[in-house]
Structure 1
């Protein structure tokens, strides 16, 4: 027993007037495991409590992540204090790390800081529908290095946080979900344009998702080659591109049915051919 105690208390690392024994190393391992589990567990409890109070998901993520980082920092200081390691011992190491960060980890630090800016300023929030380049999708999480977006086809895309701050991003739901959309239709020449306008407005009024304010409108857009072109413009609350497509599809179904009931012909491309002279058909 005395031999085991001597081995555990024998110094393994000596720096200055301080030393680290095997017993201290084992105690530190247990302390780190127990403290790390406690910090992670308490962060989950914090998220659960905030979620139960219906706090914004972005604020929940900021507070839980701040608590996690703070807990790990406090745990690190407790370990250093237990080992009697002065912070000045890390002066040289911190200088070397700073040089390494400056040359080799610029993108990581950039994305890390950008992630905190996104969570703090909240130009992009969890649940927002974004359009960036060819990607259209809903923000599911804003992590330390990247933001996870679920595209409309169900595929997940990881976008670096710095990209979201340094490039133009269309946020459909930044302030509200109010979106304008339109449906174009061409009717045959000779149609009653007043009747067409009335039917288009009726189709908008009968759709549950079309808002009364701002008001819907019908524009007699153009005299086309084969049709009189009308455009129905409506305002809706939509959080994704798919919902807009569904609404436009519903309006087209309704417009087609109303036109058929009232004898309005939807035009199709056609060409009139005029022949100068006589045309002779031989059998």
Structure 2
């Protein structure tokens, strides 16, 4: 097989469309060119993301820019591929119309989640690293994709939430403005306890914690006269990235309160019930 035979084979016309001939050479060149172009696009994308991270750009902004860059790159590659094959874009007008009809009937949820994902990335009501509360679920956003958002729950389990669900339902974003979070430790002491001493001990336990913010200042409230206890609330603000941080601090405060109450003779209340019996109680002896 000589070079002329190879050249003739590569120049063989596979089909013709609107006066444009598609040869074997064009069909074989296209995958190689696309592979090379995709390699260059991905490398440039990594370099851009690395440069943005060095400039301390927010992760969600970097993610949004990466998505826009990828969409533009894919569009350019698609148009370039059609130019290489000498296929006009209008040739896909009928196909695109059929696809649009199919999407309208069979892929409404997918398109809804896709558009919702772009809205989330553009408006940024939810960002990567935010701590969310969705119903009974709490977790940190790890990524916002075109169809769903990846959330890592407080127990370490990853959860995929459709993007439309985040826009159509009530979502509590604990860290939208900042990471400051208010928390409360509730404790009940026995009736007859020195309430002023109890308040001072709770305030001491709060002030000893370095994690608790000085501004706003922590406070102690005499919350209620309970059925079995005098109820006190210790209210404080902390800088927290997740629910685990808040639970850890509340646990440490409770340990310290138990120690302080024991040292000062303050009894932590527990449920008690007084039973009044009307009438005599008869006890039946077993027959022998």
Using the size of structure 1 for normalisation, the TM-score is 0.94
Which residue matches 1:110?
Answer: 112
How many residues align? The count is 281
Q: CA deviation at 1:14?
A: 0.6
The 2-side partners of 1:148 and 1:277 are apart by 65
Give the one of 142, 147, 150 matched to 2:149: 147
- Cα deviation, 1:256-275, whole Å, max 9, x if unaligned, reads 11111112111222234567
Which residue matches 1:134?
Answer: 136
Report SS of the residue matched to 1:118: helix
Q: CA deviation at 1:237?
A: 1.7
Q: Which moved more, 1:219-228 or 1:113-122?
A: 219-228
How large is the RMSD of aligned CA atoms in angstroms? 2.0
Which residue matches 1:97?
Answer: 99
Which residue matches 1:173?
Answer: 175
**1:278 to 1:29, Cα distance in 2 relative to 1, 3 A:** closer
Q: Which moved more, 1:267-276 or 1:109-118?
A: 267-276
Report SS of the residue matched to 1:84: coil
Q: Which moved more, 1:82-91 or 1:250-259?
A: 82-91
Which residue matches 2:190?
Answer: 188
Which residue matches 1:14?
Answer: 16
Report SS of the residue matched to 1:182: strand
Does structure 1 residue 45 correspond to structure 2 residue 47?
yes
Structure 1 unaligned residues grouped into runs of 5+: none
The 2-side partners of 1:273 and 1:111 are apart by 60
The 2-side partners of 1:51 and 1:4 are apart by 50
Using the size of structure 2 for normalisation, the TM-score is 0.92
The 1-side partners of 2:112 and 2:190 are apart by 58
Q: Where in structure 2 are the equivalents of 1:233-248 lying within 5 Å?
A: 233-248=235-250
Structure 2 unaligned residues grouped into runs of 5+: 282-288
Q: Is 1:211–1:236's contact at 8 Å kept on the other side of the alignment?
A: yes
Give the one of 192, 217, 220 matched to 2:219: 217
The 2-side partners of 1:16 and 1:163 are apart by 46
Q: Is 1:151–1:157's contact at 8 Å kept on the other side of the alignment?
A: yes
Which residue matches 2:163?
Answer: 161
Give the one of 194, 209, 224 matched to 1:207: 209
The 1-side partners of 2:278 and 2:84 are apart by 105
Give the one of 70, 85, 100 matched to 1:83: 85
**1:261 to 1:5, Cα distance in 2 relative to 1, 3 A:** same
Which residue matches 2:231?
Answer: 229
